[in-house]
Structure 1
Amino acid sequence: MAGSLRRASWNRHLLHAAAAQAPAGMTIEVFDALAAVPLFDEDLELAQPDGPPGVRALRTAVAAADGLLIATPEYNHALPGVLKNALDWLSRESPQGEVLTERPVAVLGASGGPWGTRLAQASLRQVLHTCGALVMPSPTLFVAHAAQRFDAQGQLADPALQASLSRFMQAFAAWIGRVAVPA
């Protein structure tokens, strides 16, 4: 899941690069419907216990996954509101259960600036821990100067970053294997 709604976001490109770097046996499906998730509203939740359609689609996708990979941009030194909103919905009890509790999660991110997404990832990790997710502690991946790391088509063009992303994805596969709760 990319924490940005922009179709050509660096974080969406990073997720597609992660999918290409996934180890054998791991498949990454990018959830591209975050814009369909309405602002969290307990009145909506009470009216539709299984959530509005966008929320149901998000919950279904997360519930079906062995793990959750989140690529976050950094807005004003924190995670984006759209991502926090999605996590607020996912943290609630629903007919599908609590989909974040004990779910293996890995966090990475890209930004155009010099700091990567360190602060956004820190705030995102805090929210995920509060929701009971099992967040991979390391390695971390903070992609700074994203415009220099991707080509005009959005393909990862930095060999050192490709190697780091490959190691990150191998660690995520191992993390899922280590902490995933059997169904």
Structure 2
Amino acid sequence: MTNHKILAISGSLRADSHNTALLRAAQKFSTGLEVVIYDGLREIQPYDQDLDNPANRPAQVNELRRLITEADGLLIATPEFNYSIPGVLKNAIDWVSTDWTKSEGLPLLRKPVAIMGAAPTQFGSVRAQLALRQVFVWTESDIVVKPEVIAFRSHERFDADGNLVDENTIELLQGLLTALTAKIDRVK
């Protein structure tokens, strides 16, 4: 039985991304969650405040805002680029974090959000996750703090088909999804 709808966003555009594979693992290992992976990040144009109103916003942005609003929670898997958040992910967050007209609401306001990440290095996506948490402080989102899911040396945690096979990472992922579910339950 599905209790909550989760919009899952990968900060990586790469076809064989381990971050996207983490989201697929969330679909597989979740209980009581419908995890829907968003695949439109590539189509979101650079943020432009002149267009950031309901009448002029790009269709892809309005669609993302709608999906976030309708979701019970967000699950974000982020790689780390230059010690921070990938530009495409930050750009999308910029588009959905505003309501200049004070008429449509803020999709991220008090939205339960869980963050995780994978990287081939020893340190994983630690700094990107920290930077992303700081962004969500500004949007007043309800962030899951623990457990932290950092799939470092990610090439060792997935098989050749992109399936998460590392038991420790699976356990951490399930813990993160349980914590996200608890936040959503408190809101509802």
Provide the TM-score with structure 2 as the length reference. 0.90
Q: C-alpha displacement at 1:20, in angstroms?
A: 1.1
Q: C-alpha displacement at 1:157, in angstroms?
A: 1.4
Does residue 113 (structure 1) correspond to residue 121 (structure 2)? The answer is yes
Does residue 37 (structure 1) correspond to residue 44 (structure 2)? The answer is yes
SS of the aligned residue for 2:116 comes to: strand
* 1:1-183 equivalence runs, <5 A: 1-23=9-31, 25-45=32-52, 49=55, 51-93=57-99, 96-178=104-186, 180=187, 182=188
Deviations 1:65-106 (A, max 9, x none): 000111000001101111110110010117642100110001
SS of the aligned residue for 2:12 comes to: coil
Return the letter of the residue paired with 2:63: A
Q: C-alpha displacement at 1:42, in angstroms?
A: 1.4
Unaligned ranges ≥5, structure 1 = none
Moved over 6 A (4+): none
Asked if 2 retains the 8 angstrom alpha-carbon contact of 1:92 and 1:98, the reply is: yes
Alignment size in residue pairs: 178
CA RMSD across the alignment: 1.4
Identity %: 38
Structure 1 or 2: larger strand share? 2
Asked if 1 retains the 8 angstrom alpha-carbon contact of 2:148 and 2:172, the reply is: no
Separation in 1, partners of 2:168, 2:149: 12
